[in-house]
């Protein structure tokens, strides 16, 4: 067994231990404050689990240990709500929500861990923050890399409360929401496969993926992610007084439009001479239907 494989297995082991401890910490938290509102319990458990993962990130000197949290937390939150004795969700709606969230989580977690090479491999965005923050890096990591995404995922999961805290028959919004979310997951899956196949060809330095979905939009994977979160909101939007939960989907949209995509675009423009021309001829998110 070569050193790269050993290092990767060690990293995955540490990641597994970190998330098991984080899950245990979240479970203990929910047991300590059982009388709180479920959303308050989830928020506190979220913070506790995030701080535990942060501790492992510091120990391993790699903030990428947090990356799976984005996809691991939503199915845990959904399962917690489904199992609350005081809630009586429509079983078909509960099943649809768990299915959609699980499919999304499995795809994203697999894609994240498949590309991670080990504890020496840290996301380029985190390395940039490390260089800029200097001695304050771990404070910046706690606030910006760990707690801020946790807060965004919590906001994105707010529609799970309105979807799973009510009974009632299924309606058009349920069907529309499930469809939109599944289309988002499928879009991400296809984009992942096309990107993975492109990288497997060992492209020349500076070469761009401009085939398949990537010929029709510059960020089809991000479009799929946004469709997933808006789909969740639609599923929960059928509940009375649920309009406020749109803050989650709006927050996710703002994250990608004003932070994630601009960061990625600046990096691609700096590293890929052909990207400027690709950018001019290819839409950012909404795919071009015709070639």
- Tens of pLDDT, residue by residue over 63-114, are 999 999 999 999 999 999 999 888 888 899 999 999 999 999 999 999 998 8
Mean pLDDT of the chain: 94
pLDDT score for 234: 97
Whether the CB-CB separation of 153 and 68 falls below 8 Å is answered with no
Q: Is the pLDDT of residue 1 over 60?
A: no
What region does 286 belong to: left with phi over 0, alpha with psi -120 to 50, or beta?
beta
Residue 20 falls within a domain, yes or no? Answer: yes
* 291 — pLDDT class (breaks 50, 70, 90): low
Spell out the residues 6+ positions from residue 172 whose beta carbon is closer than 8 angstroms to its own: none
Residue 131 lies inside a defined structural domain of this protein: yes
Residue 291, in any domain of the structure: no
Q: How far is CA 74 from CA 28, 71, 101, 166, in A?
A: 18, 6, 7, 19
Task: Kindly tell me if the per-residue pLDDT of 290 is higher than 80.
Answer: no
Write down the pLDDT at residue 85.
83
Predicted confidence band at 289 (pLDDT cuts at 50, 70, 90)?
A: confident
Here the tokens at position 49 are 């689990």
**pLDDT recorded at residue 200:** 92
Residue 247 in any domain: the answer is yes
| pLDDT tens track for 174-229 | 999 999 999 999 999 999 999 999 999 988 888 999 999 999 999 999 999 999 99
Quick one: pLDDT at residue 115? 86
Q: What angle do CA 186, 191, 195 make, to 5 degrees?
A: 150
> Mean pLDDT, to the nearest integer, of 32-54?
96
**pLDDT above 80 for 3:** no
Identify the pLDDT of residue 288. 80
288, part of any domain = no
**Structural domain count, the chain:** 1
**Cβ contacts of 54 within 8 Å, gap of 6 or more:** 66, 141, 142, 146
Range of the domain at 155: 3-281
Whether residue 287 is contained in a domain is answered as no
The number of helices, as runs of H, and strands, as runs of E, in the chain is 13, 0
At 42 the pLDDT is 98
pLDDT at residue number 87? 84
């Amino acid at each position: 067994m070569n050193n790269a494989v050993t290092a990767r297995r060690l990293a995955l082991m540490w990641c597994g231990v970190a998330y098991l401890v984080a899950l245990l910490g979240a479970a203990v938290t929910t047991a300590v404050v059982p009388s709180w509102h479920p959303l308050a319990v989830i928020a506190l458990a979220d913070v506790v689990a995030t701080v535990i993962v942060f501790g492992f990130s510091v120990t391993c000197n790699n903030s990428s240990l947090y990356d799976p949290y984005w996809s691991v937390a939503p199915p845990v939150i959904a399962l917690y709500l489904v199992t609350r004795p005081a809630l009586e969700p429509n079983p078909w709606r509960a099943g649809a929500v768990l299915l959609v969230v699980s499919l999304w989580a499995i795809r994203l977690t697999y894609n994240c861990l498949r590309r991670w090479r080990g504890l020496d491999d840290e996301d380029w965005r985190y390395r940039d923050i490390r260089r800029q923050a200097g001695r304050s890096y771990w404070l910046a990591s706690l606030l910006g890399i760990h707690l801020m995404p946790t807060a965004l995922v919590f906001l994105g999961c707010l529609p799970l409360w309105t979807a799973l805290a009510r009974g009632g028959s299924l309606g058009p919004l349920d069907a529309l929401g499930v469809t939109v979310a599944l289309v988002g997951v499928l879009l991400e899956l296809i984009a992942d496969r096309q990107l993975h196949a492109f990288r497997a060809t060992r492209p020349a330095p500076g070469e761009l993926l401009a085939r398949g979905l990537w010929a029709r939009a510059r960020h089809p994977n991000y479009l799929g992610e946004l469709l997933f979160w808006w789909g969740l909101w639609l599923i929960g939007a059928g509940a009375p007084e649920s309009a406020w939960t749109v803050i989650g989907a709006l927050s996710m949209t703002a994250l990608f439009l004003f932070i994630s995509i601009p960061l990625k675009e600046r990096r691609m423009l700096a590293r890929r001479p052909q990207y400027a021309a690709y950018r001019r001829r290819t839409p950012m998110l909404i795919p071009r239907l015709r070639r």
